[in-house]
Amino acid sequence: MRMGLLRGLALAAGLAALPAAAQEAWPSRPVRMVVGFPAGGPTDIPARIIAEKLRQRLSQPVVVENRSGAGGRIALDHVMAQPRDGHTLLVCTYIDALNTLGANRPYPLSDMAPISQITRAYYALVVPNDLPVRTAPEFVALARQRREGLAFGHVGGASMPNLVARIFEGLTGITMVEVPYRGTPPVLQDLIGGRLQLFVGPLVNTMPLAQAGQVRAIGMTSPERLPVAPQVPTLREQGIDLVAYGWLGICGGAGTPPSVVAQVNRLVVEAVASPEYRTAVEGTGAGAVSSTPEELRALMQATVEQYGPVIRRFSIPLD
């Protein structure tokens, strides 16, 4: 009698636990990977390779969804509004971390659940061919001579092309004229045409033009020379202590079950280590880098601490 009662209680407890276990199963439906920038760009390409790698390992489709606009904020807002169960992921960027500093941002940094970093990308300082400079110090000297100021282009307040240019100003004591654009192609068109004098741009956009002789690269923001452009010296080599990079990662919303975060992390780290991913990412001038969730969280916080003072100093609008 007592043994039968115990068996009954154990069976009841097991049945009661089934719904909870079913809820924890991931993925139970298609997974969406949301990208805050247009298809075909340096943010979209890594996302599509990782999505395909995840699809091959999971029992559900993994679909990349581009929701571009507002410097990635449309994508961030969308992901944060979804159930935080790992079925809607964000290709998060350094811009997402910095956008949390905006006065009207509904989401603090703590509302994001970092999963893994996926790329690290340095930048090139490029100038038009008709500008009489070949090095960063020569650019600084020219900027000090021209009272009207040299103009630089950027693609958004919290974008690295703007932030690095501002830091470059502060370190060298020069003042430049800021010209904002909606995207990289028009910046490069005006740079080639001589209407701008400087652009701090991603290597995937700038180096093909430099190699074709349409613009001139005068410095890199990397700590050492890069294989993609070994002839271009770093800013640090030229006496300007400026090292900066952008990054991409995979994030969810805070509250995503730890077991799901751990599972996605394992799959993403595996995808980043694949030869296909490394080849494709290096083709954009970036590096394939993965991390633990904790390491990505620390990177997000470090990004805010490094560039927050620049944003405040120059009153850069984020909203």
For 113-117, 182-186, 209-213, which range has the lowest pLDDT when averaged over its residues? 182-186
pLDDT of residue 70: 80
Angle between helix axes 258-272 and 293-313 (nearest 10 degrees) is: 90
Edge-to-edge order in the sheet of strand 112-121? 62-66, 31-35, 88-93, 246-253, 112-121, 286-288
Domain with CATH 3.40.190.150 in the chain: 30-120+245-313
In this structure, which CATH number among 3.40.50.300, 3.40.50.150, 3.40.190.10, 3.20.10.10 belongs to the domain 123-238? 3.40.190.10
Give yes or no for a contact between 126 and 115, defined as CB atoms under 8 angstroms apart: no
Residue range(s) occupied by CATH 3.40.190.10 in the chain: 123-238
| Cα 82 to Cα 154: distance, rounded to the nearest angstrom | 32
Give per-residue pLDDT as tens, 151-180. Answer: 999 988 889 999 999 999 999 999 999 999
Provide CATH code, domain 30-120+245-313.
Answer: 3.40.190.150
Q: What's the CA gap between 169 and 49, in Å, rounded?
A: 37
pLDDT per residue over 232-291, tens digit each? 999 999 999 999 999 999 999 999 999 999 999 999 999 999 999 999 998 878 999 999
Tokens representing 184 are 């990289």
How far, rounded to the nearest angstrom, does the alpha carbon of residue 12 sit from its chain's CA centroid? Answer: 49
